[in-house]
Amino acid sequence: MPAYAPSAETLAPDHRSQLDVAGELTALLRDTTTEPRPDTQLEALTLAVAADLPVLLWGEPGIGKTAALTQLAESLDLPLTTVIASVHEPSDFSGLPVVGDDPAEQGVPMAPPDWAVRLVRAGRGLLFLDELSTAPPAVQAALLRLVLERRIGALKLPPGVRIVAAANPRASAADGWELSPPLANRFVHLQWIHDHEVVVRGLGGTWPRATLPRLDPERLPQAVVFARRAVCAFLTARPKLVHQLPTNETRRGGAWPSPRSWDMTLSLIAFATAAGSAKEVLSLLVRGTVGDGPGLELLASLDRLDLPDPEEVLADPAGAVLPERGDLRQAVLDAVVAAVRKRPEKSRWDAAWALLVRAVQTGAPDLVVVPATTLASLRRADWEVPESIERLAGVVTLSRRADDAANRTAARAGLPARAGR
């Protein structure tokens, strides 16, 4: 009797080919799960998709842009339609002319491509325009109407279709082109970078889950009011930023301010406010819509929208709540002094001094130096000096002495003098 007797299972022939076995292994490798995990750039993407704004993901090849869009479509249960822009002709986006029986009477209709027809029949979907930076200028021009008006030839995409594109920087794109300014200005630009922890955990089988933001129905009206107030107040103070086309060709192919992009910014602020999104998420979206410079200025101004009204502070300086953050506290004090300058009255002047005393008692004394100096210059001849000024005199004098000492030290070292406060 042989020392080894094969079992029946061993003797049973395996009729599967090696390709079938390889397919099983591939399926196991692709069998991954998702988990709720904080991801700033993924949340920014889903918020822009919820706002129905076209999004353009910028990133180096292999960074995971296409994989992120595939997972996003699966998570949102949207059929994904991928169109490689660079391998299509302009007519594929503007429509193909079809001559009918009587062109003189009926005209020549522009027939849409099959992928557009499928999206219309489905009524919803995620249209993914991949490799956008490899599309030549003629194709980019044809994409303008698709991205902005959602039209391909005579066909209009339904409201349930969202548009997301991806592009590599020109230096790393195959036969890359800079985006034309009109096309670039139609997108929310998001820089897609990898997080090594997300990659490692994803390679282990678990990727972050993309979910649409939860909008609070009770906050919708206030969100719209806040967004409009934020953008309008900012552009009133910075009118030159309403439309500012960059002079650099590369920057023209990115985010820059225009009435169109400010309208997109307003929508994103409203959505982020209604969803209670973090400031980091809003920062990505705002800077990706109007550019880094204008975006950062707007974000800084948002903090000031919650500051108290100067008139309310003057009406009750003892009950006013001053911000803890130094720059915001300085803004409140400056605004109060500016209000007194605009309408100088003895009672308002005295109230402003009372507020400055509170500021010294509850925060950094050097913040009151400039407001106190300005307020003192507004005194009328018949106004009596309040006792509160005596409490501030030492602070102002000490600050000025510190500035003088710093300037003398700088002069001896050959450095520029410190600006007086």
| DSSP result, 321-338 | ---SSHHHHHHHHHHHHH
Q: Is 77 helix (H, G, I), strand (E, B) or coil?
A: coil
| Spatial separation of the C-alpha atoms in residues 165 and 182, rounded to whole Å | 15
Q: Please name the CATH architecture into which domain 32-98+110-208 falls.
A: 3-Layer(aba) Sandwich (3.40)
* DSSP calls for 249-307: HHHHTS----HHHHHHHHHHHHHHHHHT--HHHHHHHHHHHH-HHHHHHHHHHHHHHTS
Token pair in block for residue 316: 């009750």
Maximum CA extent, the chain: 126
The answer to whether 166 and 201 have CB atoms below 8 angstroms apart is: no
E strand or H helix at 161: strand 160-167
Report how far apart, in Å, the C-alpha atoms of 94 and of each of 50, 138, 142, 153 are. Answer: 26, 11, 6, 5
Q: Which is it for the CA torsion 168, 169, 174, 177, positive or negative?
A: positive
Low-confidence ranges of the chain (pLDDT < 70): 1-15, 99-108, 171-175, 388-421
Quick one: which of 408, 405, 333 has its CA closest to 366? Answer: 333
| Number of Cα atoms under 13 Å in the Cβ half of residue 76 | 25
| Spatial separation of the C-alpha atoms in residues 229 and 225, rounded to whole Å | 6
Q: Is 164 helix (H, G, I), strand (E, B) or coil?
A: strand
The answer to whether 143 and 183 have CB atoms below 8 angstroms apart is: yes
The answer to whether 42 and 278 have CB atoms below 8 angstroms apart is: no
E strand or H helix at 233: helix 220-237
Amino acid (1-letter code) at residue 337: V
Quick one: which of 226, 222, 218 has its CA closest to 304? Answer: 226
CB atoms within 10 A of CB 30: 8
User: Can you state the percent helix, strand and coil of the chain, rounding each to 5?
Assistant: 60, 10, 30
- Phi then psi for residue 34, to 5 deg, are -125, 160
DSSP 8-state symbol, 153: T
* DSSP calls for 178-212: PPPHHHHTTSEEEE----HHHHHHHHTTEEEPP--
Residues 6 or more apart in contact with residue 31 via CB below 8 angstroms: 205
Amino acid (1-letter code) at residue 410: A
| Spatial separation of the C-alpha atoms in residues 193 and 285, rounded to whole Å | 15
Token pair in block for residue 1: 């009797």
Contacts 24+ apart (CB under 8 A), 242-249: 244/294, 245/181, 246/291, 249/178
